[in-house]
Structure 1
Amino acid sequence: MKRKNLSKAECPVARSLDVIGDWWSLLIIRDAFDGINRFSALQKNLGIARSMLTARLQELVEHRVLETAPASDGTAYQEYVLTEMGRGLFPVIVALRQWGEENLYQPGEQHSVLLETQTGKPVTRLELRSRENQVLTWQDTMVRKLSPDGKH
């Protein structure tokens, strides 16, 4: 089945999924946050076919989520590093992680956890907050389409 192009969709979620919506792309981004940035290391960690990894990396670079850079250790290799736009996906990766921890593991089942570097303590659950700092649920929000001039 051919993938539908959502790059011109009115919905920001659909446009985002057009860029990062397959599991390989999200796992590559996750690994980039974990400091895995060479092709061979990504392939080994993910167990992905070379052709699939090449295609996904090319798409992520094309969409400016990743960029290539000379290897940080001075070797002839290149690395794939997150751009500012790519680093902006950190809350998305954390939200997916926390949702998975909460819903996809049995009590006591082993899994990885995200810890604060300075304290070594688990990261607090993400929350959506209002401008007045109140926690919001899906019931407290609505979507409104903007007019072509950008107004409500």
Structure 2
Amino acid sequence: MVKRTRFEDSDCPVARSVDAIGDWWSLLIVRDAFDGSRRFGEFQRSLGVAKNILTARLRTLIDGGVLETVAASDGSAYHEYVLTPKGRALFPVIVALRQWGEGHFFATGEPHSELVDRRDGRRLRALEVYADDGRRLDPGDTTVNKVGSAAV
């Protein structure tokens, strides 16, 4: 089996983030947690993933501080998986992936799930990136200052 490359010591925040999340199953687990899934069986039914893979991904998310286990809300002997503050901070990432997918992987008018504002049932505005002074930014408006390079 090929050993997975780790990025936990990388100076790139994107690489460290991808390292912490792990793979697509983990992002889908986080998505389902935002949608209200809390129990192993709920994640397994929703995702259709093998139990051993789900167990490993849940452990990675717990070890990374994205999820934590708590006593079952119904008082049973089971436990539930809930997002930590670190996990809840992934909300804009999940929204961005959802919006990117809606814009690039569905034909016009093709039905798909929608994330809506609970208060009024309306779709969310597209996410945008803004500078500190309020200007909307595109990729050409930004640069990465690598570690050890002079600030631009």
SS at match of 2:68: strand
Q: Which has the higher contact order (CA 8 A, sep 6+)?
A: 2
Runs of 4+ in 1 over 3 A off after TM superposition: none
Structure 2 unaligned regions, length at least 5: none
Matched, 1:83 2:84: yes
- TM score, norm. by length of structure 1: 0.94
Counterparts in 2 of 1:18-29, with a 5 A limit? Answer: 18-29=19-30
Instruction: Supply the distance in 2 between the matched residues of 1:94 and 1:74 (Cα, whole angstroms).
Output: 32
Q: CA deviation at 1:131?
A: 1.3
Displacement after TM superposition at 1:33 (Å): 0.4
Secondary structure of 1:120's counterpart equals: coil
Q: Which runs of 5+ in 1 are unaligned?
A: none
Deviates more, 1:68-77 or 1:86-95: 68-77
**Take 1:112 and 1:134, find their aligned partners in 2: how far apart are those partners?**
31
Q: Please, what TM-score do these two structures have when normalized by structure 2?
A: 0.94
Give the alignment of 1:55-74 within 5 angstroms: 55-74=56-75
Alpha-carbon distance in structure 2 between the residues aligned to 1:72 and 1:6: 36
Task: Note the alpha carbon deviations across 1:22-57, whole angstroms, 9 max, x for none.
Answer: 100000000000010100110010000000000000
Q: What are the residue-to-residue correspondences of 1:93-132 with 2, within 5 Å?
A: 93-132=94-133
CA RMSD of aligned residues (A): 1.3
Deviation at 1:74, TM superposition (A): 1.7
CA distance in 2, matches of 1:133, 1:74: 48
Amino acid at match of 1:120: G
Distance, in Å, in 1 between the alignment partners of 2:96 and 2:22 is: 15
Q: Quote the Cα distance in structure 2 between the aligned partners of 1:73 and 1:140.
A: 50
